[in-house]
A and B are shown apart, each in its own frame.
Chain A
Amino acid sequence: MEVLGNLFNIALLVATIRTTTPILLVALGGSFTTKAGIFNIGLEGQMLIAAFFAVVGSIYTGSSLGGLLIGVSAALLFALIYAVLVVSFRANEVVVGLALNILAGGMTISLLKAIFGTRGSVVGRGIVGLPKVQIPGARDVMGSSAQLISGFTPLVYVAFLAVPLLILVYNRTQLGLYIRVVGEKPEAAEALGISIARIRYGASMLCGLFAGLAGAHMSLGYITMFTENMSSGRGFMAVAILIFSAGDPLKVLAGCLLFGFADAFSLRLQSFGFPSYLVLAVPYSVALVALFALSWRGRPKRLRETAETIRRALSVHPADAGRDAPASRS
């Protein structure tokens, strides 16, 4: 019992919020491209390049805001290249996405060598991390649970507030509506004179913006450092979440929370002395199992058909079918 109590407590929730943030940011970015009908596999690369340049930027400008802006710009540049190739030149989305991911991986490694003369990672060297936001009065009102809402870096709030914002964008703004239409029925957009290319560029750049924020959060958020390949598959996890959520902000949030929780939980297990190679696999396995369970509903045709046959055999009787129909038809 005591062990469980130590495993599950407020600290775990707080950790979940933190670990959820980067994947939530990048997945919300991907939501724009998904809704616009682009299968964007380049999230990982955009996030990684932003993480690197956020570190570089914060050292050069001496401020975390400078770092953030430069990191996001790098991601936007990648997003622009992606859009030019995919939207204007109609290159294959997966190929371009993968190529840019590989480019980001290689580029950060060689720039790390060129700029900092090191391999593996940069720590210290004047990197300025993002400040923590203390919500005034939170501690007085909520006591120790105040850490659930106060004391995070700004991007944490941005990530969670972006969820309702995106819902609003998709449902009530012109841009959001056009993004959905371009993804769902491009012919309709075309016939009304809505430029499909322009909307897809817009969605791509919004995606770059959010992926950039995610990257900056990774390298300037709770740990202020850059490590080779530090996005460690989060971009791909986000792609998986996007496939199953179809880019729907609430479902994206649910998927990301699940992943974030598993991530935080595995960190916790690690501190209890479980072998780290097993523990590190936890978030990915949990997410995969959950996603598989979700998609299971759509899959087993035979199972569904069997259930259907049983239901038919039980429910529909010719006599009552005849009785209810005219009434409900009219």
Chain B
Amino acid sequence: MDLAVDLSGITKRFGAFTANSGIDLAVRRGEIHAIIGENGAGKTTLMNILFGLLQPDEGTIAIGGKTMIVDSPAVAIGQGLGMVHQHFKLVPSLTVADNIFLGMEIRRNGLIDRAAQEERTRSLSEKFRLRVDPRERVAGLSVGMEQRIEILKVLARNARTIILDEPTAVLTPQESRDLFRTLRSFVDDGMTVIFISHHLEEVMAVSDTVTVLRDGRVVATKPKSALSKRELVRLMVGRDVSFDRRPRGQTNGKVALEVEDLWVRDDRQLAALKSVSLSVRAGEIVGIAGVAGNGQTELAEVLSGLRPASHGRARLHGQDILDLPPAAIRAGGLAHVPGDRMVRGVDRTASLSANMLIGRHRRAPFARAGVIDWSAVHGEMWTLIRRFDIRARGPEDPARSLSGGNIQKVVLAREFTAGGDVLLIDQPTRGVDIGAQEGIHDEIMRQRAEGRAILLISTQLDELKALADRILIMFDGRIMGAVDGAAMDEDAIGLMMAGVDPADMTEA
């Protein structure tokens, strides 16, 4: 069998913790090989070992049939491997072309030949049909665009085997479809793709072979044709997980959050929200559906005080909150789970305890007479680690050492226990495995039962279908329409997400 990559007996320990134990992974040339598993199962660790960013404690690596020591990414790149990381590694102040050729600059007379690099970028971008502007600076580009650049970066190095770590976690459905079309065309050209994902539908749709990891071990490697989604779930989590709509009681609470004719501009001074009005009652979950980038982020930012509004009103328990600083809005009872955990969710270098403490560092029991009582903080963090099933060794771990999904749980744990009675939740399960998704959904439902008013922004319809009482659909900064969560019509929502006015639908 022609193997692009053959790992055998890979073991990796971090201190006393074993992240990978005795992993065998054989990837055939010319296939799309999906790796799935819960948060913290060791997927990223394994790929980092293959790519030379981490050294295994035991085991051997063979690339293209040759057994070798991969002690730096340079070795892996030299063997035709390329990796698109879970968190992108682009330099914001450089242009697209500079980023693509970083580390392999085209030079003439000792100087970097910008024109040639831009030309090569253009031709690569045409060849693989990944549109980019070579001269644009990376700072301020969308994540979809950043990912495209990362892929081009890998292609420019003549990679024949491409590793993608959770490539779709940050993409819109449209962007994901484009990505998979691109990956398919790669394997048609004889290349090999390894990708990590939490979206089982897309794993079932695009992969040829699936490897499931659990607690650092391989539990199965099977051709996709021999698997069903349900089986995958059971292999991954060890039990069945339901995606059905959650049962719930009647809502009759008072209006807690009210938005009226709200207009907001984005960073480029374009209108990002156009006359948005909505209200959320206590004990109600209002979902915001829409393709990412249609104003959802701005809505969350303006309500949490991170972005100024240009016109309109927003009231929290009847009190005006526009123009109040974030701390005052929080004090008024709003908790915010930001959409980008790395930017606004956590301080990656700080400990879990410190991350949990942020925003409540003046309050008893964490502060006494202005002095922080760390034993109380650690105690609370232990409680949260258990309640939210955060896979960490303890409260003193730096946030950075956690897997992506577990970092998300830290943010949720902090915000859900902040004492706010209005929850503004932006993408709660981005990058979170399905087992943990279920846990987070349970937690959101519990918050609802306790009478919290919840505004839930999600790009995943399944999630809204399971949780929301009402769903508002956003497109280009406007609310296109509302549907009842219990009787939702996916086609209608899909059309509204694409900008079709519901008033026109009946005629068509």
Contact = CB atoms under 8 A, between A and B. Distances in A.
Q: Do A and B come from one complex?
A: yes
Interface of A: 168, 172-174, 177, 180-181, 184-185, 187-194, 308-309, 312, 316-318, 321-322, 324-326, 328-329
B91 A308 contact: no
Contacts of A187: 89
B265 interface: yes
B477 A185 contact: no
Interface of B: 53, 72-74, 77, 83, 85, 89-94, 98-99, 102-103, 105, 107, 110-112, 114, 261, 263, 265, 270-271, 274-275, 308, 310-312, 323, 476-477
Nearest to A176: B112
Contact of A185 (B53, B90, B476): B90
B407 to A, nearest CB: 16
A194 B73 CA distance: 9
B263 A185 contact: no
B270 A325 contact: yes
Given A184-B92, A316-B263, A322-B271, A193 B310 contact: no
A325 B274 contact: yes
B308 A312 contact: yes
Contacts of A318: 261, 263, 274-275, 310-312
A172 B72 contact: no
Question: Which residue, B99, B103, B477, has most C-beta atoms of chain A within 10 A?
Answer: B103
A326 to B, nearest CB: 8
Given A168-B111, A173-B111, 9 more contacts: A177-B94, A177-B105, A180-B93, A190-B53, A191-B53, A192-B73, A192-B103, A321-B265, A326-B476
B323 A309 contact: yes
Rank and list the top 9 A-B pairs by shortest CB-CB distance, nearest first: A193-B74, A192-B103, A316-B310, A325-B271, A321-B271, A188-B89, A172-B111, A193-B73, A185-B91
A126 B103 CA distance: 50
A308 B111 contact: no
B348 to A, nearest CB: 11
Residue among A180, A192, A308, A324 facing the most chain B CB atoms (10 A cut-off): A192
Given A190-B53, A192-B103, A185 B111 contact: no
12 contacts: A172-B112, A177-B102, A184-B92, A191-B53, A194-B102, A318-B261, A318-B263, A321-B310, A322-B274, A324-B271, A325-B274, A328-B270
Contact of A312 (B83, B94, B310): B310
Contacts of A181: 91, 94, 102
A173 B99 CA distance: 14
Contacts of B114: 172
B270 A191 contact: no
Nearest to B311: A318
Residue picked from A173, A177, A188, most chain B C-beta under 10 Å:
A188
B503 to A, nearest CB: 18
A192 B271 contact: no
B73 A188 contact: no
B262 to A, nearest CB: 10
Contacts of A189: 103
B91 A184 contact: yes
A194 B91 CA distance: 14
Nearest to A316: B310
Contacts of A324: 270-271
Contacts of B323: 309
B180 to A, nearest CB: 24
Contact of B92 (A185, A194, A326, A328): A185
A188 B91 contact: yes
A49 to B, nearest CB: 32
Nearest to B103: A192
A317 B275 CA distance: 12
A292 B112 CA distance: 37
